[in-house]
């Protein structure tokens, strides 16, 4: 009888790297997608993988990829499982590749401000390692404590300070990727090149479908000389959007600009509510003199716009609590289905998307809350981050109502000219809308790319591509 | 007998779009690669294409691509032919696709600061159209008067103000591309997305090998409130590099920082030479108050570094003459072979590359000049732009000596850890070094991508890929 993939992997890597203990398998069946957690609770648990492999170096990853390719076995890379879109959800024949033991620092270069971390390193640990040298990655997704640097690349992650420092595609200068062929692709770390298409971009956002990220090189910054904060009330969301637009289009880049609607002001800053105002908080960072002039310029633009200063305690509070991630479980256990959905849109669409999504979510059976804030600002537009919570009479309706909330948010966003994801990714939850975002030629191009790199479709099947 | 491709194209597009006049064909045989011009002069002229097609809309391009694919006919896109790497050089069976009649403005959006131009629009015309509205593309390659926006994308062009405004990949938000299959790919114009790999990056730098760019959407800026200039002498190139490094790593981004070695100071600013000093010129742009603090901060860093202020006439002179492109012909006619080669490197490699390339070029037979300046600065490193001129005793040696200068520059750059092209691209002149830059897996990935998109290899064959 043919050997099983588990036996093959044990022989190739040694038994201690190939885990089959029930608890280990159970804990890595899926990411933090609300629907997977709900399925577990409601007696529809996702299957466990056939084994969990924990590589300790790139050669191990090559061995796993080769074994899975030769045996046509699905292979799902796993960071820390903080994704919220169903990017990880296995079948019983899947090999789960847990990158948690690949956490080495391969390079920390204070001259060229480069750092190379293995993909399994937790984001917060990478930042701490940089911080010890007076440096920073400048990339702080809310999940920084519970996600890996490889996961950031796989999902096209955004950082909270992105307005000045950019998103993952702006701070990553190079990648090491094990391709489905077993080849190791190492992109160069020159500051800039015109040597054909920039190949690293094929893998940023590939969600595990095109290969396995094994190391990531970041362009670092020295910690800024100064940090200052400011906050403003806006009489309504539209006025706040306009203020953000004026600030960024005037050439100012406060690393953080976030705008909360009144419902979120009440929830997050209950002591600082004013009338039914929205709230904008900002963090300014950089050389002393630039921070001073930026803060002053933003204050003048706010005054021009009729936005009054708000207590800066709001910003300090956000800075303290910004990496706090609330689990879905406590609410799900109470029969409340909840999730967040981030989208992005040009300036002239953003107000309409805000209004139409909030209105549409309000029509959902059992809806308890529908609110939004913006957190990432660009010259050409803004993101919105919606939160919904619904408690249907019947717990059997939790999953259908969850899907309805997604359906409404995606459809309203697309109808108003927005984009379906700003930074969480596609996973499984957004697959059916991808062709509306990329167009049929775009989806075909992506599928062709997938088929070329991964002809046996072993890499994270079921994710990203609508028909994958 | 089967119809010729010219007949087929005339039927599909109408005769007036398919040109076969000798002069038209002759003028579009190649770009501005020095070796092609030399070949013409020395009686080795490149062949002319079988026809020049001038599409007036995307549907025309689709028709041409379909006809060429169905007839396995090489198709070479052509902007204004200002490339200097041999990216355009045809065979007698080639269809040359001259984009010069696709120059429409499809969008000029003052709210979202977006503009969509057809690919054949001259860069300077695009900038003028934006400027009439008080806007700017912020992308000013030296070739702006003699290149198209589609050409900028195809070659991964860099702009002179890149330190603050970024390069083409940072200012382009969307593309329309006719794929070799005849499909039209239109990427979305949302400000940012996590919806799989960002597909536009596959085409930025593809040098005509993966499809035909038909329209480009830019993220614009309002014209800056203020422009200021400053200039400093540096006692040697290393000290100047260090000053640039300090400025950018301190968090300042003067849009322009250029550093000339003494030989180029003598050539470009003869009245402002001092001892054997290098010269650094800077342009500061943005809101008034930020320009003021940036200029002051740069002055303090220069003083700390022992770099004295230099006459700002140098900067004004550069600003006036910056788009002047000297043709190779007058020098070639005198028997002098000349070219420029741009490379890039991390900070700790840049001084070595400067010295070793200049030293090595100095050993070439008949060398008259070898000099360099930097023009694009990044947190992790810098580019260098070498110029060489050699006059061998025997004109038959011009081409071999040209190749030797390239060979030496590429080899010294690679040996010292630099990257082989900053912004001119690969074309034909750098093909043999591409695998040293991308690695064999990188070249294979690029070749696989090419084969997937263009299975009959009709798109600009002979360019970019080492074995294309």
* Each residue's pLDDT tens digit, A431-458: 999 999 999 999 999 999 999 999 999 9
Tell me the mean pLDDT in the region A67-95: 98
Beta bridge partners of A172: A218
Instruction: Supply angle C-alpha B429, B430, B433, rounded to 5.
Output: 145
User: Is residue B326's pLDDT more than 90?
Assistant: no
B422 interface with A at CB cutoff 8 Å: yes
pLDDT value, residue A188: 86
Residue ranges with strand state E in A256-309: 256-260, 278-286
pLDDT value, residue A71: 98
pLDDT value, residue B355: 98
CA trace torsion A190, A195, A198, A202 (10° rounding): -130
* Each residue's pLDDT tens digit, B345-384: 999 999 999 999 999 999 999 999 999 999 999 999 999 9
**pLDDT tier for residue A62 given thresholds of 50, 70 and 90:** very high
* Each residue's pLDDT tens digit, B25-77: 999 999 999 999 999 999 999 999 999 999 999 999 999 999 999 999 999 99
* Contact between B437 and A158 using a beta-carbon 8 Å cutoff: no
Indicate the pTM of the whole model.
0.97
Residue A222 CA from chain centroid, whole number: 24
pLDDT value, residue B324: 86
* Radius of gyration over every alpha carbon of chain A, rounded to an integer in angstroms: 23
* Each residue's pLDDT tens digit, A254-312: 999 999 999 999 999 999 999 999 999 999 999 999 999 999 999 999 999 999 999 99
Q: Exposed (0-12), middle (13-18) or buried (19+): which is B307, by Cβ within 10 Å? A: buried
User: Is residue B312's pLDDT more than 90?
Assistant: yes
B284 interface with A at CB cutoff 8 Å: no
User: Is residue A141's pLDDT more than 80?
Assistant: yes
* Contact between B379 and A221 using a beta-carbon 8 Å cutoff: yes
C-alpha A266/C-alpha A360 separation (Å) is 21
B107-138 burial, b at 16+ Cβ within 10 Å, e below that, comes to ebbeebbbbbbbbbbbbbbbbebbeeeebbbb
* Contact between A158 and B381 using a beta-carbon 8 Å cutoff: no
* Each residue's pLDDT tens digit, A193-214: 999 999 999 999 999 999 999 9
Nearest residue on chain B to A136, alpha-carbon basis: B249
User: Across chain B, what does the average pLDDT equal?
Assistant: 97
pLDDT value, residue B87: 98
**pLDDT tier for residue B189 given thresholds of 50, 70 and 90:** confident
Q: How many CB pairs under 8 A join A and B?
A: 305
Q: Exposed (0-12), middle (13-18) or buried (19+): which is B456, by Cβ within 10 Å? A: middle
pLDDT value, residue A326: 79
- Half-sphere exposure in the Cβ direction for B20 (13 Å, CA): 11
All residues of chain B having their beta carbon less than 8 Å from the beta carbon of residue A297 are: 287, 289-290
Of A290, A379, A422, the CB nearest to B219: A379
A133 interface with B at CB cutoff 8 Å: no
Nearest residue on chain B to A112, alpha-carbon basis: B380
pLDDT value, residue B467: 78
User: Is residue A468's pLDDT more than 70?
Assistant: no
* Contact between B113 and A251 using a beta-carbon 8 Å cutoff: no
All residues of chain A having their beta carbon less than 8 Å from the beta carbon of residue B188 are: 419, 437-439
Which runs of consecutive H residues, i.e. helices, occur in B156-277? 162-165, 168-171, 200-203, 237-249, 262-268
Beta bridge partners of A212: A178
Q: How many residues does chain A have?
A: 468
CB B138 within 8 A of CB B221: yes
CB A232 within 8 A of CB B241: no
All residues of chain A having their beta carbon less than 8 Å from the beta carbon of residue B251 are: 221-222, 224-225, 286-287, 290
Of A380, A424, A425, the CB nearest to B219: A380
pLDDT value, residue B162: 97
pLDDT value, residue A327: 85
User: Across chain A, what does the average pLDDT equal?
Assistant: 97
Q: Give the three-state DSSP class for A310.
A: coil
B423 interface with A at CB cutoff 8 Å: yes
C-alpha B360/C-alpha B407 separation (Å) is 10
Q: What percent of chain B has pLDDT over 90?
A: 97
* Each residue's pLDDT tens digit, B434-450: 999 999 999 999 999 99
pLDDT value, residue A345: 98
pLDDT value, residue B139: 98
Q: How far is CA A122 from CA A152, A154, A203, A212, in A?
A: 10, 14, 19, 16
User: Is residue B468's pLDDT more than 80?
Assistant: no
* Contact between B297 and A289 using a beta-carbon 8 Å cutoff: yes
C-alpha A445/C-alpha A442 separation (Å) is 5
Tell me the mean pLDDT in the region A340-360: 98
Dihedral-angle region of residue B208 (phi above 0 means left; psi in -120 to 50 means alpha; beta otherwise): left
A187 interface with B at CB cutoff 8 Å: yes
Q: What is the largest CA-CA distance in chain A?
A: 78
ipTM of the modeled complex: 0.97
**pLDDT tier for residue A361 given thresholds of 50, 70 and 90:** very high
What 8-state DSSP symbol labels residue A183?
Answer: P
Best of B107, B156, B196, B454 to mutate (most A CBs within 10 Å, chain A):
B196
Of B290, B348, B378, the CB nearest to A290: B290
pLDDT value, residue A352: 98
Tell me the mean pLDDT in the region A347-362: 98
Of B196, B224, B420, the CB nearest to A446: B196
Helix, strand, coil distribution of chain B in percent, nearest 5: 40, 20, 40
Q: How far is CA A450 from CA A53, A184, A210, A456, B420, in A?
A: 23, 17, 6, 10, 29
Q: What percent of chain A has pLDDT over 70?
A: 100
pLDDT value, residue B188: 86
């Amino acid at each position: 009888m043919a050997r099983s993939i588990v036996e093959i992997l044990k022989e190739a890597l040694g038994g201690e790297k190939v885990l089959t203990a029930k608890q280990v398998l159970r804990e890595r069946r899926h990411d933090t997608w609300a629907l997977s957690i709900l399925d577990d609770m409601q007696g529809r648990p996702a299957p466990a993988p056939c084994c969990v492999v924990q590589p300790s170096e790139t050669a191990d990853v090559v061995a796993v990829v080769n074994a899975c390719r030769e045996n046509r076995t699905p292979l799902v890379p796993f960071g820390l499982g903080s994704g919220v879109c169903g990017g990880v959800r296995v079948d019983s024949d899947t090999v789960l590749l847990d990158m948690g033991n690949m956490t080495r620092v391969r390079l920390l270069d204070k001259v060229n401000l480069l750092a190379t971390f293995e993909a399994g390193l937790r984001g917060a640990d990478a930042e701490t390692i940089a911080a010890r040298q007076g440096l920073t990655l400048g990339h702080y997704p809310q999940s920084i404590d519970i996600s890996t640097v490889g996961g950031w690349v796989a999902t096209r992650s955004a950082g909270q300070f992105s307005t000045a420092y950019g998103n993952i595609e702006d701070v990553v200068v190079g990648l090491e990727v094990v391709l489905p062929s077993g080849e190791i692709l190492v992109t160069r770390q020159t500051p800039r090149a015109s040597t054909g298409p920039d190949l690293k971009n094929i893998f940023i956002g590939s969600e595990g479908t095109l290969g396995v990220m094994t190391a990531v090189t970041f362009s670092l910054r020295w910690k800024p000389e100064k940090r200052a904060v400011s906050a403003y009330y806006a009489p309504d969301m539209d006025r706040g959007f306009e203020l953000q637009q004026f600030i960024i289009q005037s050439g100012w880049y406060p690393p953080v600009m976030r705008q909360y609607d009144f419902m979120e002001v009440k929830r997050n800053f209950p002591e600082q509510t004013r009338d039914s105002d929205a709230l904008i908080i900002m963090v300014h960072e950089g050389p002393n003199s630039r921070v001073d002039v930026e803060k002053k310029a933003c204050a003048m633009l706010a005054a021009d716009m009729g936005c009054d200063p708000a207590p800066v305690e709001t910003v300090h509070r956000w800075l303290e609590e910004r990496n706090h991630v609330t689990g879905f479980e406590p609410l799900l256990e109470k029969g409340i289905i909840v999730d967040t959905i981030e989208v992005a849109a040009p300036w002239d669409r953003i107000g309409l998307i805000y209004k139409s999504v909030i209105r549409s979510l309000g029509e959902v059976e059992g809806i308890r809350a529908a609110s939004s804030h913006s957190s990432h600002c660009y010259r050409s537009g803004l993101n919105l981050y919606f939160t919904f919570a619904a408690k249907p009479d019947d717990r059997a309706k939790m999953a259908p109502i969850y899907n309805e909330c997604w359906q409404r948010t995606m459809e309203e966003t697309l109808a108003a000219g927005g984009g379906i994801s700003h930074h969480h990714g596609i996973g499984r939850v957004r697959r059916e809308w991808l062709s509306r975002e990329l167009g049929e030629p775009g989806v075909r191009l992506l599928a062709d790319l997938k088929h070329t790199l991964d002809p046996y479709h072993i890499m994270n099947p079921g994710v990203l591509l609508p028909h994958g």
